[in-house]
Amino acid sequence: MSRVIFHIDMDAFYASVEQRDNPHLSGRPVIVGALPERRGVVCAASYEARAFGVRSAMPSRTAQRLCPQGIFLYPRVDAYRVESHAVMALLARFGAQIEQVSVDEAYLDMSHHFETFTTADASSLALEIKSLILRERRLTASIGIGPNKLLAKIASDHRKPDGLVCITNENKVDFLRPLPASAIHGVGKVTADALSSASLHTIADIQDHKGDLRALVGSFAHKLNQFAFGEDDRPLDIDGAVKSISAEETFTHDTADRRLIVPALKNQAAEIAAKLTREHLAARTIQVKVRYSDFTTLTRQYTVEDPIESADDIYTIACAILRRTQLVKHPLRLIGLGVSGLGLPSTQLSLPL
């Protein structure tokens, strides 16, 4: 029997928690992150704010320019973590194997609920989950259903917010054809640009391509071709292991000179972004580590709601952390940069539903 995988993605999680806890914010453009005057970045935005072009990792000043009526709120990380535990506890009631991807996102293997995988039965169970979350937590979730993780994720991204989409083995190839190539797991900006250079803009273009994809995407070619046809045999990762990527530099002489620190951070961001690209991953948490001349070591981190993968976004957040926490008040012996909360790159489906 085919697997039945649900992908549950809470809608604009951080901002939705704020709107729920403060009814005066309902329906208004909420931007969670640094206040504009603090020269920080956005970590989440409500759908009302996203309509103005506000996104995660954007400088807060830019967000204010795009959305002057936006309501800026400093993140309540502990509150979001508590809410995440509550939502995951609700999902656990269904007896499924659960792979929690982040505070607001999880895969559930629901195969045991069905003798045969039908859209009607799977959608009925998904509606039950959505209703439970809305009733118990007063939050909405988008749920995607498919015979594997790839299709479940694509389905949950397809009709946000409060969406419910089911992709079956019978309709998966046709469903995928009109979607942009970037909808495929592992196709970030670098890979998308490489495909675009060969006029491969949609999944249909990849499905119909007769050439050798290795010339464009290297060793990812075989997996990309499988994904383009909706094939994915990845199991759920339920070990809960925290994965991270990091880089650091020890200076020849202790320094607080921006002319040395800034290039070091930029190089580390580029190195980390390249590793994320190779692994077809994105990150939600950025961490900066500094070590002073007396070997005192401090770390500070910042978490965004939507995963990021570009060197520019990683570097922007790292600079915001340094400014906010004033870690460079004294000369540094070492500076390091790391990312964690690794998962799928954010998918932006731009075609009409």
Q: Catalogue the active-site residues.
A: 105
CA distance 125 to 135: 15
DSSP state of 341: S
* Separation CA 122–CA 101 (nearest Å): 21
Our CA angle for 307, 109, 173, nearest 5°, is: 75
Ramachandran sector of residue 199 (left: φ over 0; alpha: ψ -120 to 50; beta: rest): left
Coarse DSSP helix, strand, coil percentages of the chain, rounded to the nearest 5 percent: 40, 25, 35
Q: Find out whether 163 and 130 touch, Cβ atoms under 8 Å.
A: no
State phi, psi for 335 to the nearest 5 degrees.
Answer: -135, 140
Where are the strands (E) in 110-159, listed by range? 141-146
Q: What's the rounded Cα separation, in Å, for the pair 151 and 155?
A: 6
Q: How far is CA 348 from CA 87, 109, 180, 184, 244, in A?
A: 24, 24, 9, 10, 24
